[in-house]
Copies of this chain bind each other. A is one copy, B any other.
Amino acid sequence: MLRRLTILSALLLSACQTTAVADQPPKAPPPPPPVQTTKEVLDAAGPSFFKRIPDEDVLVIELKNGRKVAIQLASRFAPVHVANIRAFARGGWWDGATIYRVQEGFVVQWGRNEDGRKYPPGVTDKPPAEYELAMPQEQIVPLGYADAYSPISGFVDGWPVGYDPASGTAALAHCYASVGAGRDMHPDTGAGGELYAIIGHAPRRLDRNIASVGRVIDGFDAMTSLPRGTGDGLGMYTDKTMEVTIARARLAADLPASERPAYEAMDTNHGLFPAYLRARANSTNDFYRRAPGAVDLCGLPAMVRKVEAK
């Protein structure tokens, strides 16, 4: 998060000009609009470019070491898993559980790894395989740049997705900081009580193979900087004293107002979002003298920001 805000700050330093909005319809086919800077697009969009994330969609994990990690839940894409996660949080499922797996370049994983404890009330034992979501292609705001994994990719409600026109389904992309529900070999396993977060190169082979349920939006370094494990070739901590204990995990909605964090996510349905994509792709500054010419599906900075609670 820090870096993302920093990049925004750096962009504030770049040359800016006021945004001209045409007030007359053009008489001839208009030339392509000039590329605006990211700052110009953000200024033109104003506060409406970000939308408050509902407190019910934010899971706050408080580690025993005092660090907090906030996760935005993808309630539209994995509704049963997310309902489970809410029920797990409300039932105190993760309180006292641990981060027990940190695999270099892949995942951090936490929860209760088959300790036989009974699920709290409200948890659906075998949620459906919520790996993809049927929707018309028109609902995808196109990325506009190539993606190896999908002929069409883009954004739905702020989330990066790959779209499969053959089946008419969108799937959340596994990017850095994506959070999913661990499962066993069979898809009908994994209720959401064990979660993982991606700490390396986007493992897109997970897309459509597992339920992605959200993304870390704050405090991720409390997870990414943990020592890597070695057990089972899967990053398990064989030395149990390395496990990191979770003090409690609660929905932001259930925290006292004084402790409740507030976040906003970029509204990818906003009319200026395509201009934002174009600005990012063409951005240069004193350091970056060559524009990248593209943004990739997992590469957009500053999609979420922390705000003062209102």
Contacts and interface: CB of A to CB of B under 8 A. Distances in A.
A156 interface: no
A188 to B, nearest CB: 12
Chain copies in the assembly? 2
Interface in A73-103: 102-103
Interface stretch (A38-46, A111-119, A141-149): A141-149
A3 B103 contact: yes
A226 B227 CA distance: 8
Contact of A287 (B3, B185, B227, B299): B185
A248 interface: no
A83 B292 CA distance: 28
A24 interface: no
Given A185-B286, A201-B202, A233 B149 contact: no
Q: Lowest 4 CB-CB distances: which A-B pairs, in order?
A: A146-B146, A6-B233, A148-B296, A221-B228
A288 B289 CA distance: 41
Interface string A202-221: 11111111000000000011
A293 B208 CA distance: 11
Given A3-B104, A146-B146, A205-B283, 13 more contacts: A1-B104, A3-B103, A6-B234, A9-B233, A105-B224, A148-B297, A149-B293, A176-B200, A204-B296, A205-B288, A208-B290, A221-B227, A225-B226
Contacts of A288: 205-206, 209
Interface of A: 1-6, 9-10, 102-106, 143, 145-149, 175-177, 185, 187, 199-209, 220-221, 224-228, 230, 233-235, 283, 286-290, 292-299
A148 B233 CA distance: 32
Contacts of A202: 201, 296, 299
Which of A1, A146, A208, A220 has its CB near the most chain B CB atoms (within 10 A)?
A146
A200 to B, nearest CB: 6
Contact of A2 (B206, B209, B235, B299): B235
Which of A105, A234, A283 has its CB near the most chain B CB atoms (within 10 A)?
A105
A209 B1 CA distance: 23
A128 to B, nearest CB: 15
A93 B220 CA distance: 34
B292 A205 contact: yes
Nearest to A175: B201
A226 B226 CA distance: 8
Contacts of A10: 233
Contact of A106 (B3, B209, B290): B3
B224 A104 contact: yes
Nearest to A206: B288
A209 B289 contact: yes
A299 B147 contact: no
25 contacts: A1-B104, A2-B103, A2-B230, A2-B233, A2-B235, A3-B233, A3-B235, A6-B234, A9-B233, A10-B233, A105-B176, A146-B146, A148-B294, A148-B299, A149-B294, A185-B286, A185-B287, A187-B289, A201-B202, A202-B296, A204-B296, A206-B288, A224-B224, A224-B228, A225-B227
